[in-house]
Structure 1
């Protein structure tokens, strides 16, 4: 945020950043998201002449959320910011920086959960078949698509993976998920074959002194970054006419949907995806139910 905040707010947010990094051991992305939300709150609070976080009250918090809503913030954004401020105000009280927890009674706007878009099995086949896997970048892109679809891992988990995270004999990949929780996910024969080609022929052609142990590399030899992976997925999907334009998270949705359609139980899918709550995984049951209803309407003579 471009607007400056006062000394007291700046000092407390600096202390809170230290808490997030050192004590909670959150990822860089999570720390940045928390601080962005709280700096927005700080700017609004100072406009209300609240120069110290200790002076926050429920009215100020509601006023802040209302101002965000009038500027077009989505319900999911408002819900996330409500959570961020509740965690912050609880920390203020717990550490003696405030006497009352202003966020304790702050309700989160109910987020509208849209059903995630997923590719069909035919779409996946066409996209993978269309990748011209005849050079190092092509072999890499094919391996990325196969692994994302086979495992349902997040893009950050994929880019953070190292060579020794792949167990080629057991066909499993070890990843570090949200909250630095480690899990192991299986992958199938097509992904194994794509990985083998990438590791034996593609990666050696791109490797440099900057590569380190990274599993996937960018064109210049360094560890591939999430933005490049997103570009790869969009480009490869856009190359096939009629396929929805999804990113890596769309392939994660697709993997979960196809697992459930194939008979996997919800708990297994939860473990594969690394969801902390089964409720997060349950949205995919709605996706499969919608598909079943659509198939029924199209095929049953009395639908």
Structure 2
């Protein structure tokens, strides 16, 4: 059931709406699960879905102990799908429009303090091609705060080393230009001149970061690299790629950058997405105050 509708919808959000490959894959997974639910409930078509069915499906998601953010995303995927069906096939889209999104659990972003980040940079030192690549990768992530999907999508032409600028393709294929500091520029120069040619071997492509076989580095590959760096360092905390992005934003705000500038550098479409970092910086200021003030 629904194979053609699903195919047409995924093609629509990918080609017409410029959704990222990651988002398209998530929507596909969400909708395949929803279609399986309809089959279990003996619902033969999307037109037959009513508000009670929508409520039942969301109840099942809660019973499966899924995170609120995951449930919220699944509702968004189905709503978007039904809006597409309404426009293209005149299918009633009211069933899921009436549902409320579950309130998201507000978690403060995790980040590294400056001394912790220094431990990471010390752990990544080395003369092998992979060590040089890893140093350039870590420097660029921290210098720009880009998402890991943006990092793995970079090609060699996206980096302008003489001017210290990187062209980043963000969500919705929105392009932005982000400055790159001198440490990252130096690490990238060394990587491009000495390490990447050795890693490429006989491969022919322009992707900036590659693995030890010369193939383009994947998001999962970046996650593995960062985990290995932490293992080599003196740190005991875990790491995930977005932590470097959180660290970038937090350090900028802690050192006096204004919110609008950080918003532009991160590629956030609205200031509200950036404002969560103000909570982190307030906590940092309060902690510093308590530790430094004699009467705190």
**What's the TM-score, normalizing by structure 1?**
0.93
**1:79–1:108: 8 Å Cα contact kept in structure 2?**
yes
Equivalent pair of 2:165/2:177 in contact (CA under 8 Å):
yes
**Any conservation in 2 of the 1:166–1:172 contact (CA below 8 Å)?**
yes
**By how many angstroms is 1:299 displaced?**
2.3
Matches within 5 A, 1:9-24: 9-24=2-17
- What is the aligned partner in structure 2 of residue 156 from structure 1? 149
Partner SS, residue 83 of structure 2: helix
Structure 2 CA distance for aligned equivalents of residues 120 and 92 of structure 1? 48
SS at match of 1:117: coil
Which of 124, 136, 157 aligns to 2:129? It is 136
In the superposition, the TM-score normalised over structure 2's length comes to: 0.95
Range with bigger deviation, 92-101 or 120-129? 92-101
Instruction: Work out whether 1:83 is the aligned partner of 2:81.
Output: no
User: Retained in 2: the 8 A contact 1:136–1:203?
Assistant: yes
**Structure 2 counterparts to residues 1-303 of structure 1, below 5 A:** 6=1, 9-303=2-296
In structure 2, how many angstroms separate the alpha carbons of the residues matched to 1:211 and 1:249?
29
Say whether the 8 Å CA contact 1:89–1:102 is kept in structure 2: no
Query: Contact conserved, 2:119 with 2:234, CA < 8 A, in 1?
Result: no
> CA 1:164/1:100 → structure 2, altered by over 3 Å: closer, same or farther?
closer
**Which stretch shows the higher mean deviation, 139-148 or 207-216?**
207-216
| RMSD, aligned α-carbons | 1.4
Instruction: Mark the CA change 1:87 to 1:257 in structure 2 (over 3 Å): closer, same or farther.
Output: same
User: Is the deviation greater in 77-86 or in 236-245?
Assistant: 236-245
Does the CA contact (< 8 Å) of 1:90 and 1:104 recur in 2? no
Q: Are the structure 2 counterparts of residues 75 and 110 from structure 1 closer, same or farther at C-alpha, using a change threshold of 3 Å?
A: same
Where does the alignment leave 5 or more consecutive residues of structure 1 unmatched?
1-5
CA contact (8 A) 1:218 1:224 kept: yes
* CA 191–243 in structure 1, closer or farther in 2 if over 3 Å, else same: farther
Secondary structure in structure 2 of the residue aligned to 1:103: helix
Q: Deviations over 1:125-160 (max 9, x none)?
A: 121022232111111000000000110011111111
| Contact 1:174 1:183 (8 Å CA) reproduced | yes
Distance 2:92 2:187 in 1: 58
Deviation of 1:212 after TM superposition, in Å, equals: 1.0
SS at match of 2:176: strand
User: Relative CO higher for 1 or 2, CA cutoff 8 Å, sep ≥ 6?
Assistant: 2
